[in-house]
Structure 1
Amino acid sequence: MAYSAAMKQAIGAVREQLAGAGFGLADSRFAHHGVHSVDPHAPLVLVACSGGRDSLALAAVAHTVASAWGMRCGAVIVDHGMQPGSAVVAQRAAAQCDQLGLAPVLVRTVHVRVGGEGAEAAARDARYEALAAAARELGAAAVLLAHTRDDQAEGVLIGLIRTGGVDAVAGMPARQTVHGVRFVRPLLAVSRAQTTAICMDLGLEWWDDPTNGDAFAPDEPLPADYPLRSRVRHTLLPFLNEFAGRDMAERLAQGARVARRDVEWLDECTSRVFDECVRLERRGVSCEARIDATRLATQPQALRFRVIARVLAICAPGSGTAHVDAVEALISQWHGQGPVQLPSKHSANRKKHVIRVCEDVTHANRRHSRQD
């Protein structure tokens, strides 16, 4: 079968990422052209499919690559139930995946509990939980996500707006583990225009999320209540393209690949220093950390901040940059100051060379115990 240029590039991208994740030919039969049956116990990869152009294109490409390598390829469709007709969209996506030859194809309905981080974040958390559960249920080796080069660029801009720092510039990793399941993003070097072309070439009709704002004219601003990602896509990125006179999605995605290498090295260093300087104690759902402030003080500032950020992410979720700065000051600017208040009724308190990060009640119990 003759493939279009967009399909060829996408196949190459999926092959590269699957190979980087440790996948390859099931056996020597698949090194030769011809029709070969896939072993029923061959490794299984699952495509997270929403029915949009990107995930449908990934489903088609991943099935092509998996079949050529002797792997199985299925799909999971998550219905968030947050828009009218979402169940119909999910069933239609499942039918399209089935027609493409993917198997098994599952539809999972989730209940999204919207909290302080907003509906988008809550939907993302519910989606990852459902995808991970499906992967464990089926014994899948990996779940493939359809984030494209455009998504990467938009994510970098959102990260810079919200937080900044090298982690924001690095964007989304090509591979990561969530809830104990390996997730792979094979299309980070493939554009949305290319996934659109693949769907058109294959006659696939995709669904467009109405919150993307595609119904608005290019020069018409989206209302402020639209998701930030949609406003970045519709307004900010096109402006940057015109201002710079080039494809800024490509530039931002290229920069993210370079920054990702730096972040991965920093994460390795952080893990080493974390193991040397931090001791965690879990008590049911709560967690206490003891940080050796004297030892951590000998590390470069960049590593000190990353170690503390990791501790707070584990023991005091919801902590931000200001909290990390304040705890780091217990090391670099120590003069006997009092505890640092953290989210969820947690605090960090230094005594001699040890910083304890735990619930306030734990600190209080220790004080009363010493007085008694």
Structure 2
Amino acid sequence: MSKRAAPAPSASNPLDGEAARFADDLTRALGRVADAPVLLAVSGGPDSMAMLALAHAAMPDGITVATVDHGLREDAAAEAKLVADWCAAHHVAHATLHPAAPVAGASLQARARTARYALLAEHARAIGAACVATAHHVDDQAETFLMRAARGSGLAGLAGVRARTIIAGATIVRPLLDWRRAELRAIVRRLDMRFVDDPANADPRHDRTRFRQLLGANEWLDPPNLARAAAALADVDADVRATVDWLWASHAVVDGGAVRISPADLPRELRRRLVRRAIAAVRDTAGIASPVWSESANVEALLDSLAVGRRATQAGVIAAPQGESWRFRPAPPRRSH
């Protein structure tokens, strides 16, 4: 995660060097120079406000902004207005996005995240944006790495936040993965930008808050080195994903709403990846939205059941051995009594 030395800022533009660095990081994250506006996801927090300032300095005519108001906190509308006011003053297009239905139920944070990316992806398509940029940085990556390690995550989870990924059909980029939280906060303070500190970020009931405090209290837990470890694992994960793409083409058969895979002689990690992809494919075809599903979900119990010839159900999908294959299909609705 080495950083290129940036030239000193000029008096006319205090972000000269940092803006050039940001432009390079954005191009590297996207894999090309953006040929359409970049949609910035800006919440009003210091990290995303710093990203907004950097992007505006680097490409003032090449950005548009969206803020998602989930309707979960009374202050959210005022925070969206804070972002909208800054954008209006700097002639940047801004939209506040609201979910069509209230975000509710178990795993509220996960549901809010899913709703947030769905809204951003839909808006990006509507305006023809090249990608959606979020303000994840080095310290976020280190926190994510530790959180997932503590939960026993595998390779996909430990790879952490990717510089570029696809969520809800949209390209998501994270151009700040080489930037520290302190650098970003210094930018907004230098520019005297208004921002909000979400009180949830200091709430010890949240896992991320506890790991943030752990990192802050132990200097030997070096965030850049943890982020480097996550980046190295992301490279390995990309190679495994390429292998799984090849295996999916040769070992999987999609038949209507069902999927059959042939796992014989494959190592467990590749079986694990194929099973997750099969579940995701069945859910997409059947329109299964609940429970929440992710590609890093724990499928160990399901793998163990299939390995000994037993069927199992996960995330609304039933998997059953059929000869040398495993077949996945939507689970039948539960009987009501």
Aligned residues: 312
Query: What displacement does 1:353 show?
Result: 2.1
Answer yes or no: is the 8 Å Cα contact 1:327–1:340 preserved in 2. yes
- Kindly report which structure 2 residues correspond to 1:90-129, keeping only aligned pairs within 5 A, or say none: 90-102=80-92, 104-110=93-99, 111-116=101-106, 118-129=107-118
Question: What does residue 308 of structure 1 align with?
Answer: 275
Answer yes or no: is the 8 Å Cα contact 1:47–1:73 preserved in 2. yes
Question: What does residue 57 of structure 2 align with?
Answer: 64
Question: What does residue 17 of structure 2 align with?
Answer: 8
Query: Aligned pair 1:268/2:242, yes or no?
Result: yes
Query: Aligned pair 1:325/2:311, yes or no?
Result: no
> Aligned letter for 1:2?
S
TM-score by length of 1: 0.76
SS of match in other structure, 2:225: helix
Query: Aligned pair 1:238/2:216, yes or no?
Result: yes
SS of match in other structure, 1:350: strand
Q: Which has the higher helix share?
A: 1
Gap change, CA 1:199 and 1:7, over 3 Å in 2? farther
Answer yes or no: is the 8 Å Cα contact 1:9–1:190 preserved in 2. no
- Kindly report which structure 2 residues correspond to 1:115-264, keeping only aligned pairs within 5 A, or say none: 115-116=105-106, 118-213=107-202, 223=204, 226-233=205-212, 235-241=213-219, 244=220, 248-264=222-238
SS of match in other structure, 2:196: coil
Question: What does residue 85 of structure 1 align with?
Answer: 75
> Aligned letter for 1:77?
T
Question: What does residue 218 of structure 1 align with?
Answer: none
Query: What displacement does 1:156 show?
Result: 1.1
Query: What displacement does 1:360 show?
Result: 4.6
Cα deviations by residue, 1:319-345 (Å, 9 ceiling, x for unpaired) = 633334225515xxxxxx33234343x
Answer yes or no: is the 8 Å Cα contact 1:7–1:198 preserved in 2. no
Answer yes or no: is the 8 Å Cα contact 1:152–1:172 preserved in 2. yes
TM-score by length of 2: 0.84
State the identity %. 28
Answer yes or no: is the 8 Å Cα contact 2:22–2:55 preserved in 1. no
Question: What does residue 287 of structure 2 align with?
Answer: none
Answer yes or no: is the 8 Å Cα contact 2:15–2:54 preserved in 1. no
> Aligned letter for 2:162?
P
Across the aligned residues of Structure 1 and Structure 2, the Cα RMSD in angstroms comes to 2.5
Question: What does residue 260 of structure 2 align with?
Answer: 290
> Aligned letter for 2:50?
A
Gap change, CA 1:323 and 1:112, over 3 Å in 2? farther
Which structure is richer in relative contact order (CA contacts within 8 A, separation 6 or more)? 2
Cα deviations by residue, 1:73-125 (Å, 9 ceiling, x for unpaired) = 110011122112211111111111233442x2111123442233x22111111
Structure 2, unaligned stretches of length 5 or more?
1-8, 284-290
1:299 to 232, 256, 266: 266
SS of match in other structure, 1:325: helix
Extract structure 1 runs of 4+ deviating beyond 4 A. 3-7, 316-319
Gap change, CA 1:343 and 1:134, over 3 Å in 2? closer
